Amino acid sequence: MAQAQTAVSERQDTQQLILDAAEAVFANNGFDGATTRAIADEAGVNSALIHYYFRSKERLFEAVFARRSGAINDRRRRLKDALFASGGTPALEELLDAFLRPTIELGRDEEHGGHNYTRLLVHVATGTDERSRRMTGQQYDAIAIEFVDAILKIVPGLTRELAVWGYLQGVSVGVILMARTGRAADLSAGECRDDDVEEVIARARTFIAAGIRALADPEKTTTKKPNQKEETTT
Amino acid sequence: MAQAQTAVSERQDTQQLILDAAEAVFANNGFDGATTRAIADEAGVNSALIHYYFRSKERLFEAVFARRSGAINDRRRRLKDALFASGGTPALEELLDAFLRPTIELGRDEEHGGHNYTRLLVHVATGTDERSRRMTGQQYDAIAIEFVDAILKIVPGLTRELAVWGYLQGVSVGVILMARTGRAADLSAGECRDDDVEEVIARARTFIAAGIRALADPEKTTTKKPNQKEETTT
DNA sequence: GTCTATAGTTCGATAGAC
DNA sequence: GTCTATCGAACTATAGAC
């Protein structure tokens, strides 16, 4: 699509074209479903160039996954540090906003392909295969520990173990919301819309903050099963 | 593995052997990463039999996905109906227990391959491709609406729109927990374990119940962004 | 129902000209 | 850096003997 006549600011080198195309094709088809030929076609380049710039399909995939993770986590860290900069302790809702905003906003950015990355991230972050676990850990473990530490500073009565669980359960909410599966609309006859970034973030923020605070309440975290009679089929 | 000498109760016909093997191979490799040859080898049957019993790889995948969904949702429904049977209104935690228990327990059932199904379910439920959305809707829309209705009966001050969001955000927590990615252990130097079913359910129950109740609080659900100065890089 | 054999594609990757 | 051409290996699916 991008020809030599386009403005300088829109010019992209071949490597970026391939990364953008790969991001879209991997997001739509997964690693195994995507083909290097389809990526080359999407990028408008010769398929041999993929192996020239990236050694293999595997390395291309890892490059795509790593490309945006730095920007996401830099922004999360900047927002979080700004909250603590004045010396006080921010509200839990503010901390969660700092965590959620970069990915939720990216998931609504169709102009620069951000929505493709978030769909890919959902796939990798929820995968149980060895490659998914390795890549998720490499790119997102450090920021995870920073936010767990921050949660511990803000919420009294929370053990580190419970903070990790609260963080992960919160992440799972954010993961689903950044991908826009359209399921909310399906279940509500179109009443629920997921295109308003501020509303999506506000709901997730409220939900997760209350959930984490509840985990700190020792009365609530007993493992006793509530009284239930499992009725047999009548 | 299962030979002719095994007890009658352990005998399985070829079709079930293929479904069990396909469940494991699809869970480990996804739809495109799994091959019919690998499934046949895992099942110990000739690869041509897969196309004899199921017409195509696609239909086999759908059969695998549909096989356990009926049992899961029947049990959810039975547990839920038992809670309302006495005429009273159950606690929100009890309703969530009924929803979470079938999948969380299935995810820890390695003896009958249930853990393979839950990993597959995570993949399909979070997928944005057309097949994933279609299959998720076909198997899980009906039970979703039943539980949204139940949430509306239990929690005062909740609109249907917010109940759907609360349900979906709760589901996302349950989805992550049923797959056992091991990430909690990674982030806590092994301190967090996810093998105790009752503890996993209790934490999720507490977290989600508090989150849904918070959504009903009109003061909390404003879409106003909290005061934050996004610090530029120093 | 179960097997062998194979048709017909498509894949990732590379060699080598320009 | 970019292209054409192609290799060797895999894949799904089926035909046909038993």
The residue type of A74 is D
Reported as a single tens digit per residue, the pLDDT across A91-104 is: 999 999 999 999 99
- DSSP class of residue B224 equals P
Calculate the angstrom distance between C1' of C2 and CA of B48: 9
Rounded to whole angstroms, the Cα distance separating B202 from B94 reads 10
Question: Chains A and B: how many Cβ contacts under 8 Å?
Answer: 247
Q: What are phi and psi of B190, to 5 degrees?
A: 85, 0
A192: tokens are 């629920």
- CB-based contact, B228 to chain A, within 8 Å: yes
Q: With a cut of 60, say whether residue A195 has pLDDT above it.
A: yes
B171: tokens are 């589901």
pLDDT score recorded for residue A68: 98
Q: With a cut of 90, say whether residue A228 has pLDDT above it.
A: no
Q: With a cut of 70, say whether residue B10 has pLDDT above it.
A: no
Rounded to whole angstroms, the Cα distance separating A15 from B202 reads 48
Contact A23, A117 (CB under 8 A): yes
Contact A107, A180 (CB under 8 A): yes
Contact B96, A149 (CB under 8 A): no
pLDDT score recorded for residue B5: 46
- CB-based contact, A58 to chain B, within 8 Å: no
Calculate the angstrom distance between C1' of D17 and CA of B3: 26
Report how far apart, in Å, the C-alpha atoms of B133 and of each of A99, A181, B14 are: 27, 8, 30
Calculate the angstrom distance between C1' of D11 and CA of B47: 13
Rounded to whole angstroms, the Cα distance separating A49 from A14 reads 9
For residues A111, A112, A113 and A117, what is the CA-based torsion angle, rounded to 10 degrees?
-140
Of A9-18, A60-69, B154-163, the poorest mean pLDDT is in A9-18
Reported as a single tens digit per residue, the pLDDT across A18-77 is: 999 999 999 999 999 999 999 999 999 999 999 999 999 999 999 999 999 999 999 999
Q: What angle do CA B214, A165, A147 make, to 5 degrees?
A: 85
Rounded to whole angstroms, the Cα distance separating A134 from B216 reads 39
- CB-based contact, B128 to chain A, within 8 Å: yes
Q: Which residue is listed with tokens 């979070």? A: B126
B158: tokens are 């909740």
Reported as a single tens digit per residue, the pLDDT across B45-93 is: 999 999 999 999 999 999 999 999 999 999 999 999 999 998 999 999 9
Reported as a single tens digit per residue, the pLDDT across B91-130 is: 999 999 999 999 999 999 999 999 999 999 999 999 999 9
Cα distance from A109 to chain B (closest Cα, Å)? Answer: 16
Q: Which nucleotides of D are covered by protein (CB under 7 A)?
A: 1-5, 10-16
The residue type of A16 is Q
Q: Which residue is listed with tokens 């996810």? A: B194
Cβ atoms < 10 Å from Cβ of A29: 16
Q: pLDDT confidence of A3, banded at 50, 70, 90?
A: very low
Q: For B30-49, what is the mean pLDDT?
A: 98
pLDDT score recorded for residue A222: 65
Sign of CA dihedral B182, B183, B189, B194: negative
pTM for the predicted model, two decimal places = 0.94
Question: For B82, what's the count of Cα atoms within 13 Å in the CB-facing half-sphere?
Answer: 19
SS3 string, B5-43, reads CCCHHHCCCHHHHHHHHHHHHHHHHHHHHCCHHHHHHHH
Question: Which residues have a Cβ under 8 Å from the Cβ of B177 and sit 6 or more positions away?
Answer: A169, A172, B100, B104, B107, B194, B200, B204
B195: tokens are 């093998």
Judging contacts by C-beta atoms under 8 Å, the chain A residues touching residue B225 are 97, 198, 201
pLDDT score recorded for residue A234: 57
- Angle A92-107/A160-177 helices, nearest 10 degrees? 30
Residue B195's nearest CA partner among B93, B118, B95, B109 is B109
Contact A97, A209 (CB under 8 A): no
Q: Which residue is listed with tokens 């959620």? A: A100
Q: With a cut of 80, say whether residue A209 has pLDDT above it.
A: yes
Strand D at less than 7 A from CB of B58 = yes
Q: With a cut of 50, say whether residue A5 has pLDDT above it.
A: no
pLDDT score recorded for residue A12: 81
Strand D at less than 7 A from CB of B162 = no
Question: Which residues have a Cβ under 8 Å from the Cβ of A44 and sit 6 or more positions away?
Answer: A1, A2, A17, A21
The residue type of A170 is G
Strand C at less than 7 A from CB of B16 = no
Residue at shortest CA–C1' distance from D3? A46
Judging contacts by C-beta atoms under 8 Å, the chain A residues touching residue B75 are 230
> Which of B28, B203, B212 comes nearest A221 by C-beta?
B203
Touching A: B residues 177-196, CB under 8 Å: 177, 179-184, 186-188, 191-192, 196
- DSSP class of residue A132 equals H
Say whether domain A65-215 belongs to CATH 1.10.357.10.
yes
Residue B197's nearest CA partner among B168, B172, B213, B174 is B174
Q: List strand C contacts in A 13-72 (CB < 7 A).
A: 34-38, 47-48, 51, 55-58
- Altogether, the residues listed in chain A come to a count of 234
Cα distance from A29 to chain B (closest Cα, Å)? Answer: 8
Residue B232's nearest CA partner among A138, A82, A64 is A82
Judging contacts by C-beta atoms under 8 Å, the chain A residues touching residue B130 are none
Q: With a cut of 60, say whether residue B205 has pLDDT above it.
A: yes
Touching A: B residues 106-125, CB under 8 Å: 119, 122-123
Report how far apart, in Å, the C-alpha atoms of A9 and of each of A1, A116, B32 are: 15, 22, 38
Distance of CA B142 to the CA centre of its chain: 15
Contact B8, B17 (CB under 8 A): no
Q: What angle do CA A232, B114, A165 make, to 5 degrees?
A: 100
Q: Which nucleotides of C are covered by protein (CB under 7 A)?
A: 1-5, 10-16
Q: What mean pLDDT is reported for chain A?
A: 93
Q: What mean pLDDT is reported for chain B?
A: 93
- CB-based contact, B85 to chain A, within 8 Å: yes
Give the residue extent of every domain in chain B. 1-55, 65-215
pLDDT score recorded for residue B57: 98
Q: Which CATH architecture has domain B1-55?
A: Orthogonal Bundle (1.10)
Rounded to whole angstroms, the Cα distance separating A131 from A124 reads 8
